[in-house]
Structure 1
Amino acid sequence: MSIFKRAEITARKFLKMNNLTTPIDLEKAAQILGVKIAYVSFEGQGALVYNDNFNSDKKLIIVSANQTREQLRFNIAHELAHILLKHCNTILQTHPEEDKPNYEKEANICASELLIPRNKVKQAFYKYSGDIKKLKNHFQVSEQAMVTKMEILNLPYENTFYN
């Protein structure tokens, strides 16, 4: 099984085991994983995770409060994904898109599945007739994240800047 498929499956199992529905409550997901989230003001957008391998009680996500709600949600989900995928012994840092290591790509896929689960997209697709703006609001994600998921699932969409 590819690491990317493993990322999707890990997210689905976590959602199912903890009875989490969309839009996912990231604070509750963090609580389940024993992670504290600190919203701080720092330059730029993004987040980072601190995961003490020797003390499982010490898990912290530090996230920039200076970003849109949708970007904030993706960044938190991405850092939670690192914990779910047990990326503990890796120095997590920002990389240019074309130079991202596999563990970052894997965390992105897991985060996407946490926020926009494949089975829920198909249900919402019919409810909103593929309208990206309605879908992104339903899942509380960015338009770009929603379009990407629709393209991965090969579902048609409309009402977006990305057409």
Structure 2
Amino acid sequence: MSINVNGNPVELPGDPRVSLLDLLRERLLLTGTKKGCNQGACGACSVLVDGERIISCLALAVQYEGRSVTTVEGLAEDGALHPLQAAFIAHDGFQCGYCTPGQLCSALGMAAEARRGLPSAVTADLEADSMPLTRDEIRERMSGNLCRCGAHNGIVDAILDACAGGGR
């Protein structure tokens, strides 16, 4: 049994109780994904599974057999930052940086959801093929990712810059 993590095949642990977060951090030493509350409330452990955002502390690693997991370490390509990572830097979308990996992964998943037309609680046109990412949409859709430092304005600006135009 294996999964793909950041483009590499990884054997799943024999213990079915191992969370995806613990597999990533403790066994694969991919410590970019953070353990915040370990209860699914803060979003610090957000990763992408087949392009969709999930909270990895609530997921068992064995649930994702045969699937593709992307952590913050897998966002950069050929040594170049992902455009969203660069936008976070340009817009001061972090202070302490603890929540940043989860914010980045969640934002990319959120942008993909909007492009697919999945509405949020503040979406005006529920029948649109895609949802424009306005400040209100971004704030609502990213509400599951907490930033204790208060860098929310920079985070929203970075997401608008990198993702609102359909960035990858």
Question: What's the TM-score once normalised by structure 2's chain length?
Answer: 0.31
Structure in which a larger fraction of residues adopt helix: 1
